[in-house]
Every structure is written in structure tokens, then in C-alpha cells.
Structure 1
Amino acid sequence: MEPPSRSTRVSVLLPYKFDAPFTYAAEEALPPGTLVRVPLSTRMVVGAVWGDAPDQGVKTKPIAEVLAFPPLPRPLMDFIDWVAAYTLSKRGDVLALALKESLLAAPPKRGKAYAFGGADPAHPGPELSTAQAAAAAALRDSVAGQTFGVTLLDGVTGSGKTEVYLEAVAQALRNNRQALVLLPEIALSVQFLQRFERRFGAAPAVWHSELTPALRRETFRAVAQGRANVVVGARSALFLPFPALGLIVVDEEHESAFKQEDGVMYNARDMAVVRARLSAAPCVLVSATPSLESVENAASGRYARLDLPARHGGAVLPLVKSVDLRAHPPERGKFLSPVLVEAARETLARGEQVMLFLNRRGYAPLTLCRRCGHRLSCPNCTAWLVEHRSHARLICHHCGHSAAIPEKCPACEAEGSFVPIGPGVERIAEEVAGLFPEARTLVMASDHISGPKQAAEAAARITERDADIIIGTQMVAKGWHFPHLTLVGVVDADLGLAGGDLRAGERTVQMLHQVAGRAGRAQAPGTVLLQSFSPEHPVIMALISGDLPDFYAQEAAARRPGHWPPYGRLAALIISATDEKLADQTARALSRTAPRGPGIEVLGPAPAPYALLRGRFRRRLLLKTAKHIQIQGLLRDWLAQTDIHKSSRVDVDIDPVSFM
């Protein structure tokens, strides 16, 4: 008689496009979260034990290796399951956000390790104002309780929100818990890290795509072992394996950059709230211009709310005025009104700095033939090619296609007939050089500043007054503190207001209010000039008056009757295929099986705004429901009963932020 087998069966989730775990044999019981190496087809892969598996009498392959690495914490596993169910993603795809084999390599036996865990909550911080101290005390109390709750920290630009929520971080450290601070952009980490080090006497761990592979591995291990007590990172940091997470802060919570637009489509702001709940930790959402969703959650009592209505240290909010481009047009072929030019000249004469904001990269957004009107477009996308004179190329900002400006027009064969239409930041820099030849200019856009190091160098130049005029895209709109910057000119305040985007007005108010907040942050008062062809537009009027609550009330009144978010639910189905007829066929098939009923509306199918993107033809349907309807169930049933051709793809975007 054979001796009984000592093997046990466990389910192992793999970080690939699988929704269900696989069953493997283990020599002993393994706790959930244990990282293992297992055979998959002809190769060995890393996965995580997701639980026990029933013995179904089927021969199973054995686990090849149990890795000597801390297991995934239970709250992270629950979070992966939750995100997969919410976004209708495969669990393996969500696990891939948290687990990559390249991060698990053992550190070298020799060599100096990166320093973690040095943040000291007792290190003396800056002196807080009365309002700041009251808000900080409320946050400290919520963290000390070590229970879940969400607080919206709403404060005007320059009110010292960062210093306030760092006191919540200090309390998490006193509790011997870890803290996570999410920032929407890598560049924003530059001045934040300086503030953090002043407060805690040491730098935090950082997590973003610009880290070297070795530093990523060491940071990942330090988080998993609890040695990294504070992490500052981009949205992907939400999936790090914190064993003792005690606080999540989402700075600039309104930012659309927190939305992952491909693969697993999730909003890191909303998922941060879920991760905090599963970790029994408080979550703090921070913004000078909160999203309407967060404003409504605070108004309904789901979130607590703390307000900082005044700037810190005696600084006052800038004076915001419009420049009517119909009455004060720029010179022919130029883009800066004489009113803005004169204000810049006076500011420079006082030895102060000027910022010109235009949320458009490159030299010109469009290049056309002056003879026949042919426009140079991307062969892979429904998009114009953007001229970048710094690279001497035409570039598609969607797929990266690059080409030289052709010598002849491909439509009419005219030679040397192409002209740039409209401005990008490079063209504004060219105009500024002609107007102010003695001024030192600095362009801050992703084409010129590719990572934290270059951003730090640019910030140092501005702070040390080694730049007179800063010209930038949305990179300059938020988070920066430049004490000598007193004039902000918005080159095109109307940009972003056209089209049918649900959130166009809200997003424009947020961005322009943030960029306006860069002016006058010290003792010298600031001025903001908004160049506009429609200064009577409600968005421009709201920025001038500074009455954002009234603007939010108007937005709410416009959305509530139609059950538009946050008063209803939205999900987008994006159909794509390399064959246009197949994309149309799949979209029609989905339309025929679309759900019906009270509180349910399906819009489309229609070509997506970018009907061709990266070589794929795209169609879109939009599911809109009343808020009480569980939208994921509707979508699962809808997709299950639709025959979708294997050569077409259907991506589901729950709670879409953009509609491209």
C-alpha cells in the first residue's frame, strides 16, 4: 500500500490575462499571498497563492519554488479582487499592476542599500497658522483612530495644504504605520520632496516610471518589508505591497492624470478610497479645485471636509482679469495681446517674473498647404501632426508617429507651401524672444523636461531668479511655489471649452484656477490675465470672480436632471478593429443587445472622437444609468449575450474621464 501523499492543492493567480487562478500541488499548506514560481506551458512564471483549491481528482503540476519574499498582504489581495470586479478586468491583469518578476530579484550582497524609513515625526516642522493647525489636528485625530474615513481638504492655492496633510503623515508614523502620498505627475514631486525633507529630516521613498531598475527593486522590497514608511508616487504606487498601510493622501485629487486610460482602466483617486477602506486606514483628498464628485460626497456627508480659505503668511490671492481679444487683438501672426505684452514689460521692469501658460506642446498644432489647404495628418490616427521645431519633426501626440515636413504638398505638389497654424509653447517662446530679447526664458513642457531631475533643475532656475519668463503647459499649472512670480498670462483661456466633453467647463476652471494660483504667492501681489474671445463665458466669469462654489452649483444644476455624473453612472464601450467594417459590425451587434429599462440609456454607436487611433478603427457606445443601478452587472450580461468577432476588441471604461 502506497503511503499517503503529503501534497496539498492551492490556487495560484498569475499576472497574465487570466481571470481565475490555476491549481498546483504544494508539499505543505501555503498561506494566501505567498509568492511562488510555477510551470505554465513550457516556461516558469511567478504568481501568488490565492487560497486552497479543492481536490477534483485531477493530476496537478507541483509548485517549482516558494520564493523567499514577504507574501502579498491580505488587503492588497482583496483590493486586486475588488478592482477587477469593478473595472470588469481580468484578475491576472490587475495582479500584474502589483506583481512583476523583475521586482523580486534579491538585492546584491555587496553595495550600499538605498536609505528608507528615516522620516522622523518628531523632527520640528514649520509653524502653522491657526487655520492650518486646526485642520492638522482634525487629520491627526482621524489617523490616530486607525479606522477608515475620507476627508476632503479644500484650500485655496498657497494656503499650505501640503504642510497640513504632512501632519497626518507624521501621525501615521507615530502609529508605526506606513503612509502613501499620490501625486498626479512626476514633475510635482520635486518641490514636494524638498518640503517633506524639511518637515521630517529625511526623504521618503519614491515610486514612478523614471526609477532605475535597481532602485525599483530595492524600493519594492523595502515597502514589502515595512522598511519604507512613507512612499510618494504616481498612481501605480497604489498597488505596492504595504504590510501596514495607515494613511493614503491623494494630492490634486481632481487631476485627470489619476485615470489610467488603457489596460486596466481605473481612477487612482477612487481606488485610493477603496484601498484605504480595505486597510482600515483614513484617506485624505486634497485640492484647491476639487472634483464635483468629491464636492458632492462632502455635501452628502460621505466625506468629512476641511477648508483653508486664505493664503498662508499674509499672501493674498491674485487679481484675475480677462483680456478681450476682440478689442485688443495681437499683431498679425502673433498671439500675445498688447495688453499682456505691456503687463509683462512692467513686471520685468520691477525685477519680477512672468509665466505664460498655453496647454499645447510643440510649435504649431496644425500644418497646412497655403495653396490647396491640405492638412498634414497622422496615417495611424484621426489627428493632425504637430510641428516640433525643437526636434525639426512633425509628431503625432497619440501614437508617436514622426516625419519631416515634406518638401512638396502630397495633394497639389506645390513646393515650400506648408505653413504652421496656431501656437504651441515653442511658438510663444519665439514670439517672446522677439519682444523681450534680453529676458531669460524657460520652456516647461514634457518635450523639454522629461523627468524629476530636469524638473528640479528648472525649478531651481526659477527660484534662484535665473529665469525671467516661464512658458509652459499644464506641467506648470499646479504645485509649484515661485515667490518672485507675480504675473501669469493665459495665452488661450478658451482652449478646452469647445466640443461636447461633459467635464470641459469643470476641467478648464480647475486648470486655469491652478495656474492662476502660481501668481503672487509671497508678499508681492499677483495678477492673472486671461486672453479670451469669449470673456462673458461662465468659466471665465467664475475665474474672475473667484466664486468657485457658485460655478460648482451651476455645473450640478446642469448635470442633475440628465443623471450625468456624479448624479448617475457612466460606462463607455470602445470597439476597435484594424478593419473599419468589422468595427462597425461589432458596434451594431452590441447596439442590438443593449440593455433596456427604466433609468437605463444607451447612446450610440458612433465613431469615437479619434475614430482611428494607432491603426485601429474605433466606435463607441455609452451606457448611462441612474445612480442606484449596479452598472457592472448590466455590462456583464450585455457582453455575454453579444457575439463579438475574435478580431475586434471591446474595452470597457467604467466612470470615463475623457471621451477620446
Structure 2
Amino acid sequence: MTDLLPLDEPFDRVSVLLPLPLDVAYDYKADPALELARGDVVEVPLGQRRMVGVVLGPGGDDAVAPERLRAVFRRLDVPRLPRTVIDLVEWTAAWTLAPRGNVVRMAISTPSAFEPPAPVVVHTAGPQEDWTGQARLTPARRRVLSVLSDGPALEQKDLAREAGVGPSVIKGMIDCGMVAPHTVAQPAPFETPDATRDGPTLSGEQQAAAETLRAKVDAHAFSVTAVDGITGSGKTEVYFEAIAAALTAGRQALVLLPEIALSAEWLERFADRFGVEPAVWHSDLKPKVRRETWRAVAEGSVRVLVGARSALFLPFAELGLIVIDEEHESAYKQEDGVAYHARDMAVVRARLEGIPIALVSATLSLETVENVRQGRYGAVHLTARPGSATLPEVALIDLRKHAPERGTFLSPPLVEAVQRTLDEGEQAMLFLNRRGYAPLTLCRTCGHRLECPNCTAWLVEHRLLGRLVCHHCGLSARLPKQCPSCEAEDSFVASGPGVERLAEEVLVRFPDARFQLASSDTLTGPDKAADFVRSVRAREVDIIIGTQVVAKGHNFPWLTLVGVVDADLGLAGGDLRASERTYQLLHQVSGRAGRAERPGRVLLQTHAPETPVMQALAAGDRESFLQSEIDQRKAAGMPPYGRLAGIVISAPDADRADAAARMVARAAPRLNGVTILGPAPAPITMLRGRHRRRLLVKAGRQVNVQQVLRDWLAPIKLETSVRLQVDVDPYSFM
């Protein structure tokens, strides 16, 4: 593909991709004076609307006569999207089978950034010789002149506030020459990190790993390196050296993190190393910051950005390094809309850019492990914690032998360990990956369970909010006074623990301990996450009661005990990655203990201590667990040793969903090496008011499953109320 469009007569039309759920691009007339090129952001007509789209190249729809084409209104005053971003859009759409318009929407997600920022107008005192006859010195005007004589030039709103006057006073003074406005350039919103600052002293192992990554950056070529390090081994400091190398080479760097809550401590460490904080990108950004960040990335003034998965589609023009921290995290897989995996698409972008990418984790995904074993990826290994810190001791508590007291959830050995930790002036964490007060609320009279009316999911009680919440669609409701089934009053009882219920037990057992809940309900943004980290480090908290948001990335020197309340929780269900995810999560949360000179201890409460996951955690034997998982996946032909795709069909009512699913199934191809399972009700049969049916496509590694799906699904015409979504290599089976 050429970057610039030929501007001679035969090419007076351009192909424009619009952010709509369509795969086709539309042709428009192109005024040669606009000098349009691939990646230009343009405004075009569509029906009665004006829409923003992206130029893909010369128009090619010969079915539309030139005289019927509508003209591009204008090229927006924003840097052209880099060729690699457009290529990534098309590659992602082809891999996920999503319409290209849905993918390009992620690349131009901030329309307010497409207009240049308004100029900044500041004010100074005007020379007296320029004052007109209306320049009377009232008390208010004297205050304005006093402010300007004692300080710098100010914007109008700041000047009015400092002088204690209204905007009309300032305007009148401008009209009569007493105040002079001046237009100045917008200040740069982001400071440049200093790559020359000294970082912490690295161990020999860290230094060797850092040198490997620096060499990859200096080579200016595509490579993938797995940074495989135990928890607390200093992986972040190692890849900071690679970021420094990218900055020294005049290139930009992108770091992806799976959770916003992880960014608080990370930003502090970055600022310690480079003198300033990086730019940040996530869904909670205020519109003004989002606009400034998008444009600054495109203009190149952002040199390092840390963000959530959507940051992958930002228009970096000089990208020199990508880092995927906690690369194993399932949060990198987007489930709704375009079902893409940010880790995998980041590797694609690195290849398109011709730059290195580092995949970082203490528990590498099986996909990455296999790519390292096959030689497709390189690897560096960090096997020790710096200084005197050591890995914690991990022990299993068999709940069949050490059952908690009736109505409680902490076993006697865990209670004793927490008390001993508190007595020694250290901190403990109780980990339970379940938000709210209780996962199930049922009527003690008839057994009726409160279910979401929009989803086939139980309502979760959040007692702190005084609400029942659906964790799938977000529905929130008060606990009913009467059972809707038997009409018994005040008959509902909580079943099972969530972190809020666990907090009640902590309050009873350890009344003098200061505890803090840490979940996505309480750490609702970077600021609250930063406050949480500060309070734990300041030893204002004795017991952390947390979900997976505290399982990784945090370094608390006084935290020496981690108790996992329900280690078996993630093993239920039919998810092919259930064991792998459970191992990763429990290994990560275990790694929070003993990260300084005080040794750590981890206690896992389990009903199944004999499972490979629990045995591997207790023995610290990752390799035996991985081999067990590899053997099972190979035997079943499951990823990464086979191909898998999900097809979910949904409709407003069950009959339409069933009819559409049967029609899709009847059209299924019969091919060697391809097995099609279903249709069957999805595990969550109804979601957000839509009934769901699922088919699974299982194939060998050699099968082009995308082509199979295209050939199968393209001819099928469904009712407008029926939706069909494809998920290549699904991570969620709900």
C-alpha cells in the first residue's frame, strides 16, 4: 500500500472508512487541494449527517458513477494516522472477523482531539497612553491593576478570581485599553522523562536481562522477549532500562497494564526513575485530559504512555518499544464489541512497526511459554528477589480437616496465623476473589434465589451499598421486603462469603485490628488506589481484605502473611484455562508476602489439596504444573495446540434465538480437522435481556479458522433483531 495518494486526474476519489459497524469503506470526491493521503482524518457527509472517518487510499468502487459521489468536506487539522495504525486496524478486523468500522472507531475514539486546541489568551496591564476616555479607576478596576502589577499575565477567569471581580469588569477594561490581551501558545501538557537519571542498582541477573532488552531496542527491529521473573524480582526496573534506551534513541514507548488500580504504585516508581510521570490512558480520564493526551501522542510530545488495552490503537508516530506488563492477564481480552486480545494485537503492532516488544509476568501465559519453547520468542529469566528478600513459604490448609466454625469462613490455623502476625506488628492480607457481601441471596422459607431479571445470573448482595447488584449487566435493586415466590417477609438470608461478609468476621475476631476493603467497588480509580497504597505503606492498615485487584503489582514491606480464603474458587466451571488462571492468580497473590527483609508466609484454604494446582503452589514447582497443563491441552487439542472459536447468537426472545442458532448450525461446513459443537444454551443463557445460544468451533493448528468462519457465516442472513458475535480464541465461556 502507498502512503500518498496520486493526485492526477484518474484518482480524484478516495476510500473513507467510517466508525460504523460496517466492513465496507465509502468512496468520496477528493479535491486535489486537500492533498489527502492514507491515514488522513476527514469529515464527510453520510445521509443527513456529517461524520469523521479515515482515508484508506484511492477510491475503488467503480459501481458508483463519479457524478454521484459526494465530496469530502475537509481534512481535519490533526496529524495523519500512521500507516501502522491503519494496518493494525485492518489486521485486527481480519483476525477477529469484526467489521473494520468497529475497529477504526477504537483508533479515532476521541473526536474532540481532531480540532486544534483553542489559543490561550493572557492579560497584562495596558500602557496608560493607550487608555481611552472610558478608563475610569473604580475600586474594582484598581484591584485588577494591582493583581497584574504584582504577578504574571493571567487568563481572564484567573484574573477575575484573583481580583474578586466579574468577567464584565475585565471586558470593560479591555475595551478601554486598561488591560491588554495577548495570545500565547498552549503549554506542553506533558513533560519529557529524563532517560539519563540514575535508576536503582540492579543485581547481576537484572543487569543481564536489562542489557538484553536494551540491545533489542537499539537494534530497531521486531522481536518478542518474555521477561520471566518470580514475584518481587524487579521486572519493572529491568524494562525501565529498555524504556530509557527507547527515549535515548528518540523513540516513544508504550506500556500496557491490565488494571487501572495497578497504575498508582507503577506511576510512583516511574517518576522516581525518570523524574516525571508518564502520560496515562484509560476509560476514566476526564474529557479534557483525554483530548490532550490523544493529540499529544499523535504530535509526538508524549514520549512514554502507560495505559489500558485501548491504548494500543493510539497514533504513535515514533514508537520504539511496547511493554505488556502482567501479560498473562485475561483483562487484556476484550469481550464486547471487537473481541481482540491486546497482548496478541500488541505483538502484531510491534511486527508492523518493526520494533521490540516485551511480555512481562511472574506467571507467563501458556501461549507465551509455548512460543518461547518453540524459539519464536526470546526470554530473560529473573529467579531471585534482590537483596535479602526471599519467596514466601506456601502451605495448604485442608478444610476437610480444619473446617471453620459454623457461619464463619476462616479456619482455626488461618485465624491463629493472622493473630500471630498482628502480635508481631506486621500486616496480613485475606484474599477472596468475590466482590460484595454474598454471592447468593435465598429465601429460607421456600429456597427461592434472587436472580437478575435481565440475565441468568444471581444477584450479589452489596451490604455497604444496601443494594443487590448484577455483576454482568450492572442492574441494581433493593432487597425486597417479601419473597416474590412465597411472599414470606424478611426471609432472605445471605449464602456464601464475599469480601464484605469476610470483613464482618474480621471485625469480630480481631476487634482491635484496622482493616481495609480493596476491590473494584472501593478502588474505583487511580486516586483511590493511590490512597490505598499510601495507607498500607504508612502502616495505617493491619489487615487487607481484597479481591484480585490487590493480587499483583503491589509492594508492601510489612505484609508478611497472605491467607487465601477460598483457593478452589476459580477451578469451577468448564473454562479450559480455569486451572491456569487459578495457578496464576494464587501465585501472584502469594507473591505479595515477604517482599522485604521480613520472611513471608502464605496459607491456602482448600477442599482439594491433592489437585495439581495446589500441589504445584505448595511445592513452588511451576514447571510440573505447566507440564501437566500442556499434556491436558495437547490431548484435548485445545489452544495453544489447537484452534478454537466461539459463536454466540442472541435475540430478544428464546424462540428467535433457537431458530437462528439452528439455521447457523445447518449451514455449518463439514471439513477434515474441524469439529463444530452445539448449538446449546450459553452458560449465561440470558444477558442484558437477550437470550443466548452458543456454538464452538474446534480445529487443528493448521486450519485457517477465520476463513472457515467467513465462508460459513457470510451467506447467512439473520433477522435484524438477532445478533451474531464471533470470538476467535475465546477467554470467557459465559
TM-score of the aligned structures, taking structure 2 as reference length:
0.88
The residue type paired with residue 97 of structure 1 is: M
Q: Does the aligned pair in 2 maintain the 1:24–1:62 contact within 8 Å?
A: yes
Q: Does the aligned pair in 2 maintain the 1:181–1:248 contact within 8 Å?
A: yes
Bigger Rg, which one: 2
Give the superposition deviation at 1:647: 2.0
Is residue 2:262 matched to residue 1:252?
no
Mapped to 2, the partners of 1:343 and 1:553 lie a distance apart of 33
Q: Deviations over 1:469-489 (max 9, x none)?
A: 000000000000001000000
Is residue 2:44 matched to residue 1:38?
yes
Q: Does the aligned pair in 2 maintain the 1:443–1:472 contact within 8 Å?
A: yes
The residue type paired with residue 84 of structure 1 is: A
Q: Does the aligned pair in 1 maintain the 2:77–2:114 contact within 8 Å?
A: no
Number of the residue aligned with 2:125? none
Query: C-alpha root-mean-square deviation of aligned residues, in Å?
Result: 1.3
Number of the residue aligned with 2:574? 500
Give the superposition deviation at 1:598: 1.8
1:644 match: secondary structure = coil
The residue type paired with residue 55 of structure 2 is: V
Mapped to 2, the partners of 1:17 and 1:193 lie a distance apart of 36
The residue type paired with residue 8 of structure 1 is: D
Number of the residue aligned with 1:27? 31
Q: Deviations over 1:615-652 (max 9, x none)?
A: 00001000011001111100001102434333211100
Number of the residue aligned with 2:53? 47
- Number of positions where the alignment pairs a residue of Structure 1 with one of Structure 2: 657
Q: Deviations over 1:139-198 (max 9, x none)?
A: 000010000010011000000000001111111111111110000000111111111111
Number of the residue aligned with 2:78? 69
Number of the residue aligned with 1:243? 317
Gaps of 5+ in 1: none
Give the superposition deviation at 1:61: 1.1
Residues 585-624 of structure 1: matches in 2 within 5 Å?
A: 585-624=659-698
Q: Deviations over 1:533-586 (max 9, x none)?
A: 111121111110111111011100011122100001110000100110111111
Is residue 2:718 matched to residue 1:644?
yes
Q: Does the aligned pair in 2 maintain the 1:7–1:25 contact within 8 Å?
A: no
Gaps of 5+ in 2: 1-7, 121-154, 156-185
Mapped to 2, the partners of 1:106 and 1:231 lie a distance apart of 21
The residue type paired with residue 462 of structure 1 is: V
Q: Does the aligned pair in 2 maintain the 1:7–1:27 contact within 8 Å?
A: no
Q: Deviations over 1:492-542 (max 9, x none)?
A: 001011221101000000000000000000000000000111111211111
Further displaced range: 596-605 or 416-425: 596-605
Structure 1 residues 173 and 108: alpha-carbon distance in aligned structure 2, compared to 1, 3 A threshold: same
Q: Does the aligned pair in 1 maintain the 2:394–2:602 contact within 8 Å?
A: yes
Return the match for 2:475 from 394, 398, 401. 401
Give the superposition deviation at 1:597: 2.0
Q: Does the aligned pair in 2 maintain the 1:193–1:204 contact within 8 Å?
A: yes
Return the match for 2:246 from 172, 175, 182. 172
Mapped to 2, the partners of 1:403 and 1:23 lie a distance apart of 49
Number of the residue aligned with 2:112? 102
Q: Does the aligned pair in 2 maintain the 1:105–1:217 contact within 8 Å?
A: no
Q: Does the aligned pair in 2 maintain the 1:9–1:55 contact within 8 Å?
A: no
1:382 match: secondary structure = coil
Q: Deviations over 1:582-625 (max 9, x none)?
A: 11111111111212222111111111000011000001000011
Mapped to 1, the partners of 2:617 and 2:11 lie a distance apart of 68
2:516 match: secondary structure = strand
Number of the residue aligned with 2:703? 629
Number of the residue aligned with 1:58? 66
2:636 match: secondary structure = coil
Return the match for 1:13 from 17, 28, 43. 17
Mapped to 1, the partners of 2:724 and 2:478 lie a distance apart of 34
Mapped to 1, the partners of 2:705 and 2:38 lie a distance apart of 30
1:450 match: secondary structure = coil
Return the match for 2:225 from 151, 170, 180. 151
Q: Does the aligned pair in 1 maintain the 2:29–2:72 contact within 8 Å?
A: yes
Residues 3-402 of structure 1: matches in 2 within 5 Å?
A: 8-28=12-32, 29-54=35-60, 56=62, 57-59=65-67, 60-100=69-109, 101-110=111-120, 113=187, 115-402=189-476
Q: Does the aligned pair in 2 maintain the 1:573–1:651 contact within 8 Å?
A: yes
Give the superposition deviation at 1:6: 11
Q: Deviations over 1:76-103 (max 9, x none)?
A: 1101010011110111110000103233
Mapped to 2, the partners of 1:115 and 1:22 lie a distance apart of 36
Mapped to 2, the partners of 1:458 and 1:30 lie a distance apart of 50
Residues 574-585 of structure 1: matches in 2 within 5 Å?
A: 574-585=648-659
Q: Does the aligned pair in 2 maintain the 1:612–1:618 contact within 8 Å?
A: yes
Mapped to 1, the partners of 2:412 and 2:571 lie a distance apart of 24
Mapped to 2, the partners of 1:367 and 1:77 lie a distance apart of 49
Give the superposition deviation at 1:407: 1.2
Q: Does the aligned pair in 1 maintain the 2:642–2:699 contact within 8 Å?
A: yes
Mapped to 1, the partners of 2:586 and 2:548 lie a distance apart of 9
Structure 1 residues 6 and 594: alpha-carbon distance in aligned structure 2, compared to 1, 3 A threshold: closer
Give the superposition deviation at 1:348: 0.5
1:496 match: secondary structure = helix
Is residue 2:557 matched to residue 1:547?
no
1:228 match: secondary structure = coil
1:590 match: secondary structure = helix
Mapped to 2, the partners of 1:416 and 1:37 lie a distance apart of 59
Mapped to 1, the partners of 2:491 and 2:519 lie a distance apart of 29
1:314 match: secondary structure = coil
Q: Does the aligned pair in 1 maintain the 2:98–2:338 contact within 8 Å?
A: yes
Is residue 2:490 matched to residue 1:486?
no
Percent identity of equivalent pairs: 58
Q: Does the aligned pair in 2 maintain the 1:572–1:622 contact within 8 Å?
A: yes
